[in-house]
Chain A
């Protein structure tokens, strides 16, 4: 297995899949990066470095620099998907979902249902999300809970380079619309990535570790933070089951309920504000389907009910941290 970053796993997967399937087309702001400027096409190769070299290889009909027009980008992906292609649209910041929301939730998410199951819309929307880089309230949000709430969408959050490859491959070969969340602070995370054809099914959580004392459920960057917390707790003899959801829609309910049945204690870590969040949703799941397993009330580790601030000190206070996760585990065990 090769060691690579999440960034390289995504770029290499896009490259391999575009080579395999001529119907895959990529569009977004600066995905080429330089069109119409003195530096020329591919001067940037995508601001996140996840599309560099694709334009040179696949040309302007498959790698399309768009104006700053998020509704048109996502809408064009919708139309291209209905026309038989497999578009990948990049939203440079997931926060811009707000600009394009109609095309996501009224259009892409509903086509198949509204049209009586007689069509499919295999569009992949890549959303770069998350706090931790002082990008403040309009460039830091984790809007996966909001999109998880929309029937018709699949919502995917890789936490490792291997999952970045496996889940993106699955997204590009599946026939449903996928919201593919990439954490902006995780592109440099390194790990082993299986060679060749590698797909990771949706709806299959990853048991990151088994400890038996408490269940931690997390996704995206919160998986990495939870691992750090679990390491500290392990030194004190506290064993954590750590579940990386990988996808929040579909949701691997069984993995969560089985683990909580064994541990009796639940901590959910979610990089969102608390109200109507993923954490609240998982807590409701366990309350309704696993209540008798619980030995203590669950702990939810989320940001406060506020926008995400700019200043380092404030942002650190906002984002769930390994320390907060560790404290939550100790609280749930003390009850």
Chain B
């Protein structure tokens, strides 16, 4: 393992932040204070963090409608995200976007997306911009097993190959597109990476419930893309602990499925076990991080709850830079 203690602590902090952010939202949504749709990412933390830990703010990502984890991993402000989800004026997008449309271009987060499959072509455009600049930046499209069936994703893969864009297609297979299983909806026998290969790019596969496997595989992939070899793809086998949206009763899940996944495929538990067994970090250090993160999330919720709502008079502002 090549990671330093600080890097390990940082990775755990980011994964724990996503987990606690999501667990807390799951509770807060029951109070009725959060409007609209919220799609939780809990269970998939190793993917967002394992991918984004390699990136700088100059690198760009486009996200999905399950975007909180990608936002946090890429460095979006957590209290600002919480305010956004509570629909407050001080939110990261001034309450205009909500959970599905969080973006912060200053950290290279080009936006979550309410349209499944909407992001992949945008990542190709961002990658073409990066190629024109010639500074070795990359653009990453996070897509789920649902988005991998959209034509936009196919078009984007082909165009990325044709133009040798430094675009990376991260296929995050959590095995459910909305309420439908990948065994049914993904025609290539549950395998997404082979589609990328069919478009003429190299594809990797990794365990998306294992931070270390994700991180190390991404290192290899990024070395390849940053060397100017054009686009690449990775399929990550991961799990979603909550429903498609909050309030989804998940009748399509097998009996005891989520409990079993939380026992056997929890990336945070796996991380703890790995660093403990290797005597890299001790449990007390990780517990301390959990406590710090809990305080941050708690403060974020308290602040968001008390924050002012947007002024209705501003409803039509920010449509254009200028309009005359």
Contacts and interface: CB of A to CB of B under 8 A. Distances in A.
B155 A176 contact: no
B105 A82 contact: yes
Interface in B114-135: 114-115, 118, 120-132
Q: Which 3 A-B pairs have the closest CB atoms?
A: A75-B121, A79-B125, A117-B318
A183 to B, nearest CB: 24
Contacts of B131: 61
B139 interface: yes
Interface stretch (A8-16, A66-74, A213-221, A301-309): A66-74
Interface in A71-110: 71-85, 87, 102-103, 106-107
B268 interface: no
B262 interface: no
A265 B91 CA distance: 50
Given A69-B155, A79-B126, A83-B129, A111 B111 contact: yes
Given A66-B159, A118-B104, A152 B319 contact: yes
A40 interface: no
B156 interface: yes
Which among B128, B322, B323 has the greatest number of chain A C-beta atoms within 10 A?
B128
B158 interface: yes
A75 B113 CA distance: 13
B324 A201 contact: yes
Contacts of B163: 64, 66
A103 B319 contact: no
Given A72-B152, A154-B320, A67 B121 contact: no
Counting chain B residues whose Cβ lies within 8 A of the other chain, the interface size class is: 35 or more
Contacts of B118: 75, 102-103, 106-107
B103 interface: yes
A175 B97 CA distance: 20
B122 A79 contact: yes
Contacts of B129: 25, 79-80, 83-85
A112 B125 contact: no
Given A76-B159, A83-B125, 4 more contacts: A69-B159, A71-B155, A79-B123, A79-B129
Given A62-B132, A72-B124, A83-B125, A115 B323 contact: no
B11 interface: no
Nearest to B92: A116
B277 interface: no
Nearest to B110: A82
B101 interface: yes
A75 B122 contact: yes
Interface of B: 60, 62, 91-97, 101, 103-105, 110-111, 113-115, 118, 120-132, 139, 151-152, 155-156, 158-159, 162-163, 317-324
Most buried by B among A82, A85, A115: A115
Contact of B159 (A72, A83, A85, A120): A72
A239 interface: no
Contacts of A132: none
A320 interface: no
A250 B321 CA distance: 13
Nearest to B310: A116
Contact of A80 (B93, B125, B319): B125
Nearest to B324: A203
Contacts of A102: 115, 118, 152
A235 interface: no
B321 A113 contact: no
A114 interface: yes
A154 B62 CA distance: 25
Interface in A35-87: 61-62, 64, 66-67, 69, 71-85, 87
29 contacts: A64-B128, A71-B152, A72-B121, A72-B158, A73-B121, A76-B128, A76-B156, A78-B122, A79-B127, A81-B125, A83-B110, A83-B125, A102-B115, A103-B118, A103-B152, A106-B114, A106-B115, A107-B113, A112-B321, A115-B96, A115-B103, A115-B111, A116-B91, A117-B94, A118-B104, A120-B321, A152-B319, A154-B320, A174-B322
